[in-house]
Amino acid sequence: MSGKSRPRVAVVIFPGANCDRDALGAVELVGGEAVPVWHQSADLAGCTAVILPGGFSYGDYLRAGAIAVHSPVMTAVRRHAAEGGPVLGICNGFQMLLEIGLLPGAMLMNRTLRFICRDVHLRVERNDSPLLKHLRLGQVLRLPIAHKEGNWFAAPEVVRDVEAGGAVALRYCTPTGEIDDGANPNGALNAVAGLVNLQGNVLGMMPHPERRMRALLGGEDGAALIRGLVEAA
């Protein structure tokens, strides 16, 4: 593939982000051109898809993702999303998508009040978004989580709308795909692990697909998601 024809994917670099390099590498692995875009940039450097990576943007002081959303680059991200451009928010990036209202709800501390890093199983609930097109409905993915604030929460009427509108993309489940409180690592309502917006172009998820791109590193379940984003770019 020649350099010019590769889809350009922006990975926003926030101070304190720490999964930015992993996201850049993952995009390149599936044939995209990964472009680091500084948080103070006013535009997306000609990119046609965006990753908001995980980490502790601005130290997560105040609240996870709360300060990052006031970065100049987020104006460009909002515009891009409003125009239907694909956006993937991972972990801290998902928290930012909630902060700016591109996705509904908020994150509470995990119910154990502790940081949790381990593999979880996820049931695919939607595959009609371009970002999810390489997944099968009901498929069970295995990906790592690494967060302290991933306990998704929303008011009852919001939860109703989320479910009615089919906004849940991924749910924590058992290895065989059952939804079970014991398989929910953080206490998220309705076992929500990932949400997609109505238009299907904005996906937020707590687990880390960019860490599971190679069998040697424990699996390739993340590659389908990253490939979906790159192809949607």
Partner 1 sequence: MKWDAPATVELAREHGLSEEEFERILSDLGRVPNLTELGIFAALWSEHCSYKSSRVHLKKFPTRGPRVIQGPGENAGVVDLGQGWVTVFKMESHNHPSFIEPYQGAATGVGGILRDVFTMGARPVMILDSLRFGSLDAPRMPHLVDGVVRGIGDYGNCVGVPTVGGEVDFHPSYNGNILVNAMCVGVARGDGIFYGRASGPGNRVVYLGSKTGRDGIHGATMASDVFDETASAKRPTVQVGDPFTEKLLIECCLELMGKGLVVGIQDMGAAGLTSSAFEMAARAGCGLTLDLSRVPARERGMTPYELMLSESQERMVLVVTPDNVAPVLEVCGRWGLDAVEVGTVIPEPEVVARFEGRQAFRLPLAPLVDDAPRYDRPWVEPAPAAAVTLPNLRDREWAADLREMLASPVFASSRPVWQQYDQSVGASTVIGPGADAALQLIEGTNIGLAATTDCNALACSLDPFNGAAQAVAEAVRNLACVGAEPVGVTDCLNFGSPENPGVMGQFVAAVDGLAEACRAFEVPVVSGNVSFYNETSGTAIVPTPTVGMVGIVPGVRHRPRSHWHLGDAIYLLGPLEGELGGSRYLQIVLGLEAGPVPAVDYDGERRIAAVARDLVRLGLAAAKDLSDGGLAVAAVEMSGGTVGCKLSLPASTSPVRVLFGEWRVGFALATPVAMEPALERACEGLPLTRLGVAGGTKMVVTLGRKTVLEASISELAALSEKGLGWLSEA
User: Which residues here bind partner 1, judged by CB under 8 A?
Assistant: 15-16, 18-19, 21-22, 25-26, 54-56, 58-61, 111-118, 144, 146, 148, 208, 210-211, 213, 215-218
Minimum distance, C-beta of residue 216 to partner 1, in the bound complex (Å): 5
- Distance in angstroms (rounded) separating the CA atoms of residues 23 and 32: 11
Minimum distance, C-beta of residue 225 to partner 1, in the bound complex (Å): 14
Which residue in the list 91, 99, 149, 173 is annotated as catalytic?
91
- Distance in angstroms (rounded) separating the CA atoms of residues 36 and 117: 26
Residue 61 vs 84, nearer CB to partner 1: 61
Structure tokens at 153: 């929460």
Residue 126 vs 148, nearer CB to partner 1: 148
SS (H, E, C) the chain: CCHHHCCEEEEEECCCECCHHHHHHHHHHCCCEEEEEECCCCCCCCCCEEEECCECHHHHCCCCCCCHHHCHHHHHHHHHHHCCCCEEEECHHHHHHHHCCCCCCEEECCCCCCCEEEEEEEEECCCCCHHHCCCCCCCEEEEEEEECCCEEECCHHHHHHHHHCCCEEEEEECCCCCCCHHHCCCCCHHHEEEEECCCCCEEEECCCHHHCCEHHHCECCCHHHHHHHHHHC
- Distance in angstroms (rounded) separating the CA atoms of residues 125 and 221: 15
Is 99 labeled as catalytic in the residue annotation?
Answer: no
Minimum distance, C-beta of residue 81 to partner 1, in the bound complex (Å): 26
Is 47 labeled as catalytic in the residue annotation?
Answer: no
Residue 116 vs 158, nearer CB to partner 1: 116
Minimum distance, C-beta of residue 163 to partner 1, in the bound complex (Å): 27
Minimum distance, C-beta of residue 35 to partner 1, in the bound complex (Å): 17
Is 210 labeled as catalytic in the residue annotation?
Answer: yes
Residue 61 vs 160, nearer CB to partner 1: 61
Residue 56 vs 152, nearer CB to partner 1: 56
Enzyme catalytic residues: 91, 208, 210
